Structure 1
Amino acid sequence: MYLEIVSPEATLVTGTVESVTVPGVNGEFQMLNNHTAIVSTLEKGKVKFSGNPSIAEGHDNKFSQEDGKWVLHISSGTIEMKDNKVIILTD
């Protein structure tokens, strides 16, 4: 599936991933390939994804790795998953 993470400063991540885990307001949840369409708000926590997408130059310091997954700490945001494309808007 395709992942795009967008912040007010830049598009931070673009590319193919195997899974995405996000801090939903009703608890953490994970999306895999062919997940049903969903729109949700996100709360403070970690966005985790596995794969090798492109991380925007100059923004790689916002990401760490944990248990073989990329991690981005967020304060809040929204997520949309549709047709194997995940778009995360975060601050």
Structure 2
Amino acid sequence: MYLEIVSPEKVLLSAEVNSVTVPGVEGEFQMLNNHAPIVSVLEKGFVKVDGNFEIPKNLKAEVTKAQDGKWHFPIKGGVLEMKNNKAIVLAD
């Protein structure tokens, strides 16, 4: 699936990924390829991304790679839309 993580200042990620896990207000949930369409409000936490992609050099200080191999993008909140194998996170 394709994932875009966008903040008011810049695009944090725009890449093909295997999965994405987000901090929804009702709890953390994961999306894989062919996930049903969804719109969700996100709370403070991490957008966890699994995939084989390059992190732009200007973002390496902002994101961390966990022991499970997933990249963790910190967010203060936001909104997620998933449809047609494309997830867009509008993050604060």
Residue 89 of structure 1 is matched in structure 2 by 90
Instruction: Specify whether residues 19 and 55 from structure 1 end up closer, same or farther in structure 2 by C-alpha distance, changes over 3 A only.
Output: same
Q: Deviations over 1:17-47 (max 9, x none)?
A: 0000000000000000000000000001111
Structure 2 residue identity aligned to 1:17 = V
Higher strand share: 1
Matched, 1:28 2:25: no
Structure 2: segments with no counterpart, 5+ residues:
none
Aligned residues: 91
Task: Output the CA distance in 1 between the equivalents of 2:8 and 2:54.
Answer: 18
Q: CA offset at residue 55 of structure 1?
A: 3.4
Q: Deviation string for 1:35-67 (max 9, x for gaps)?
A: 000000000111101013343441221110111
Query: TM-score, normalised to structure 2's length?
Result: 0.93
Percent identity between the aligned chains? 58
Q: Give the structure 2 partner of residue 5 of structure 1.
A: 5
1:58 and 1:22 map into 2 onto residues whose CA distance is 23
